[in-house]
Structure 1
Amino acid sequence: MNPESPAPRYSAPRADGPLVVFDFDHTLYDGDSGTHLFKWLIKRDWWRVLLALLITPVFGTMIAFLPTRRRGISAFVWVGTIGLHRRRDLDDLIDRYVVANEATLRAKLLPVALQVFHQHREAGDCVIVATGAPPELARAILAFVAHEDVPVIGTLVGPRFGAIGAVRHCHYEMKVTMIREAGYIQPIQRAYSDSSADLPLLKAAIAPVVVNPKAERVEMFRKVLPAGTPILNWGCVDRAGEPVAS
C-alpha cells in the first residue's frame, strides 16, 4: 500500500478478532515522530532555539541513556511548549505542523508496514497503535492514509511548569498497562515494534515481531524473545532486520 494513495475504508473489527498492536515510530513511521514535532516547535522562535542550545550539554546527554531518556526528552518538550497551558493548545499546533509538513510526513510512512497494517484490518483483527508520541500526532499522520479511525494509545500530556509536558508516558511496562486500561483485556495475539523499550509489549504478545531494530539490539532480541521470532526490516535503511519487499 502506497502512502501517497488513500487506504480503503474498513469494517469494524470482528467481535472475536485477535488483538494486534503496532508501535508507531520506526515501525509504521520511518523515524521518531515526536522528536520531529518538537524540533519544529522549538524552531518557531529564536529564543526557543537559544534555550535548547543552552540545555543541550546536560539534557542532550541524558537522552542517550535509557534510565534518563524521558527526563532529557521532557526538557526539550518544555522548551518547545513554553506558554501553552492546555492539551488542546498542543493539539492545535500538532494540526498546524502536520498540514505544513504533509509531503515529508507522508514520505515517512513505510509502505511495507502499511501493507501489513492493511492486511490485519482487512482480516477483521482488532488493530490498535500504542506509541510514546502524543496520540494526536499519530492519528493525524495516519489520516493521510485513511487509518485515522484506528484507536491510538499514547503519552498523555498536560500543563507542567508553564508549558505542556507528559503526565503519563506510554513507555515500557506502562504501555501494556495503558492498553489494558483502555479496555483491551484480551490476549495480545501479535505485537510489532522496533524498540527494546517495548520488551514488555513484545513479551506479552503470543506472536511478537521485531521490525527495524537497531543493529546492536538484534542479538538481545534473539535471546529474550521466543525462538523463531521474526526480526524484519520494513524499509528503515539505517536499521537492521531481514529486508521485506513491498
Structure 2
Amino acid sequence: MSDRSVVVFDFDLTLTRWETASRFFKGLLRRQPWRIAGVMLALPVLAPLWALPRTRRRPVRFAVWMATFGRSREALARLAVVHADEVFAGPEPVFLPEGVERLRHHLAQGDEVVIATGCWEPLARALLEREGLKDVPLVASTLRPCVGGWVSENHCIGENKIPMLTERGYPPPWRIAYTDHRADLPLLRNSEQWYLISPDVKCLRVIEHAMAAKAEILSWRAT
C-alpha cells in the first residue's frame, strides 16, 4: 500500500441524507412547469429506456438537460447556491452528523481526506461550504453544454472515480473508503479498508460477494 494515508468518502447518502443532485435538478424542473411538461411529453420514449440497465441513464440525462435548458453556467452556479441556502434553512439537516464527525476525525488525525461524488461539482461545493467543509478536496461530476442545455461531461461514479481521483493527485491504492453504494466496488477493491454506510440488502449482498469479505457497516442513517 501507499505510504500516503488517503481516505476517500462518497458523498450522497454517505455524508448527506439524500441524493443531492437529484433533489437539485428536480427543483429546477419544478420552478417552471413547462419544463416538467417537456419531460412528461417524452415519457412514452423514456419509460422503455428506464427498464433496461444499459439505457437507464438516458431518461435521467434528458431530465437534467430539460432542467438546465436555456440556463448559462453562471446561472446554474447561482441556482446551486440558492438551493444550498434553501435546504440548509429547512427543518432537516442536510448532512449526517456521524459522517461529518468521522470525516473531521480523519482530518484531525492528519489523514488526507478527499470526497469523490457523482454530484455536480458546484452544488457539492456549495453544500460543503455551508457545512464548514469548504477546504476538503472534492472530486465531482462536471457538465458540458449540449443543444441549449447541459449534459454529463465527466460523471464521477463507479469505475470512473479511479481516473478522476488519479488526475487530481489521489491515485490508488487508498487506505480507507466510505460508501453506501455497490457502484463503488472499484473504489473498495483499491482500498486497504472499507466501510458501508447503512447499505440495503442487495448492496450488502453484492459487495460482500464481490469482495469475498464481511463488510464493516456503519449505521449513519435509516435504511
Pair in the same fold by TM > 0.5 = yes
How far residue 159 of structure 1 moved from its aligned partner, in angstroms, is 0.7
Structure 1 residues 91-123: Cα deviation after superposition (integer angstroms, max 9, x where no partner): 121112112332338613111111111111111
- Aligned equivalents of 2:74, 2:39: Cα separation in 1: 24
How far residue 64 of structure 1 moved from its aligned partner, in angstroms, is 6.1
- Aligned equivalents of 2:62, 2:209: Cα separation in 1: 34
Q: Which residue in 2 is equivalent to 1:97?
A: 83
Q: Which residue in 2 is equivalent to 1:67?
A: 54
- Aligned equivalents of 1:195, 1:223: Cα separation in 2: 14
- Aligned equivalents of 2:48, 2:138: Cα separation in 1: 30
What stretches of structure 2 of length at least 5 have no aligned partner? none
Structure 1 residues 128-175: Cα deviation after superposition (integer angstroms, max 9, x where no partner): 111111111111112222101111111111211211111111121111
Q: Which residue in 2 is equivalent to 1:55?
A: 42
Q: Which residue in 2 is equivalent to 1:174?
A: 160
Q: Of Structure 1 and Structure 2, which has the larger fraction of its residues in strand? A: 2
How far residue 66 of structure 1 moved from its aligned partner, in angstroms, is 4.1
TM-score (ref. length: structure 2):
0.91
Q: Which residue in 2 is equivalent to 1:220?
A: 206
- Aligned equivalents of 1:225, 1:34: Cα separation in 2: 29
Matched-pair identity in %:
33
Q: CA RMSD in A?
A: 2.0
How many corresponding residue pairs?
221
- Aligned equivalents of 1:218, 1:59: Cα separation in 2: 30
Give 3-state SS (helix, strand or coil) of 1:155's partner: strand
Distance 1:66 1:131, change over 3 A: farther
How far residue 63 of structure 1 moved from its aligned partner, in angstroms, is 4.7
1:21-40 pair list within 5 angstroms = 21-40=8-27
Q: Which residue in 1 is equivalent to 2:117?
A: 131
What stretches of structure 1 of length at least 5 have no aligned partner? 1-15, 240-246
Q: Which residue in 2 is equivalent to 1:243?
A: none
- Aligned equivalents of 1:190, 1:27: Cα separation in 2: 14
